[in-house]
Amino acid sequence: MKRSVPDLMNASEPLVMVTAYDYPGARHAEAAGVDLILVGDSLGNVVLGYDSTAPVTLDDMIHHARAVRRGAPNTFLVVDLPFGTYHTGVTDAMRNAVRVIQQTGADAVKLEGATPEVLDVVGVLARNGIPVMGHVGLMPQTATAQGGLKVQGRDEASARRTLEGALALEAAGAFSVVLEAIPARLARLITERLHVPTIGIGAGVHCRGQVLVYHDLLGLYEGEEKKLAKRYAELGKEAREAIAAYAREVRAREFPTKDQSFVMKDDVLGKLY
């Protein structure tokens, strides 16, 4: 059964969230029994081939989230508001969040940061019945301003900013907060201070939930493993090997065999000669 916001907020067991971007991925996630699916704007990196999340548009997010909802009708669905869609005032943010909820069937939206402007948006959305997940620590949408895709919260100023940001998001009405790429001990402190669940990625074991990007979890990209992710499969290698085997068999005229071919009666064929 689909989890509700109060149910997620009061969960005593660790929450499991995974990203998905399309129908098959959503089906895998729902069949595996995750608590939440996130259509992350990591879409830009892992699916659309951009080198950052900044080019991802609201239309991109809606297009992919609709497919995810079709694949996972019974899982709590969170959709990222992409860069620029909640930075031009609360009216625009509200309009964009409503589009996401109405056009995708999402249960909540996620946005990054805890600036006064973002906190205003969180407050307006939450008061108008749109559940909001916050996101502090490393924030890919504005990573350039943060000095690149780096661990945050290592020095006192950055740790304090992260802690205060998470507390402010809760006070503004966020029902949960993602903590990305921060020291495990800071994540533990934030988790102890907040009443709403923290969901970690590269934030240690003490968060109340964890999130992984689908492609990282399944090893869809070969190469070095990211520090903040664990690979539970090597599907990228399997995919490459399978396609190479197919290519070999086509070139050797070993595929298709009789098993993949359709028959025709001799007399029908004879009439065509």
Our finding on whether 61 is near ligand KIV (CB under 6 A) is: no
Nearer to ligand KIV, 159 or 212 (CB): 212
How many whole angstroms separate alpha carbon 174 and alpha carbon 136? Answer: 12
Does 211 interact with ligand KIV (rule: CB under 6 A)? yes
- Count the residues of the shown chain that bind ligand KIV, applying the rule CB under 6 A: 11
Kindly report the backbone phi and psi dihedral angles of residue 99, in degrees, each rounded to the nearest multiple of 5, phi listed first.
Answer: -55, -45
* 19 vs 152, beta carbon nearer ligand KIV: 19
Residue 29 in the binding site for ligand KIV (CB under 6 A): no
Choosing from 15, 19, 152, 207, the residue that interacts with ligand KIV (CB under 6 A) is 19
Is 180 catalytic? The answer is yes
Smallest separation (angstroms) from ligand KIV to the CB of 40: 2
**Residues recorded for the chain:** 273
Are the CB atoms for 75 and 58 separated by under 8 Å?
no
Judged by beta carbon, residue 227 or residue 258, the one nearer ligand KIV is 227
DSSP state of 13: S
Site string for ligand KIV, 70-89 (x = CB under 6 A): ----------x---------
Is residue 116 within 8 A of residue 122, CB to CB? The reply is no
Query: For residue 220, what are the contacts with CB-CB under 8 A and spacing of at least 6?
Result: 46, 214, 235, 236, 239
Q: Does 20 bind ligand KIV (CB under 6 A)?
A: no
Query: Which residue is listed with tokens 């990573």?
Result: 143
**Structure tokens of 53?**
């999340």
3 state DSSP class of 19: strand
Q: Which residues bind ligand KIV (CB under 6 A)?
A: 19, 38, 40-42, 80, 178, 180, 201, 211, 213
Q: Point out the residues that are catalytic.
A: 180
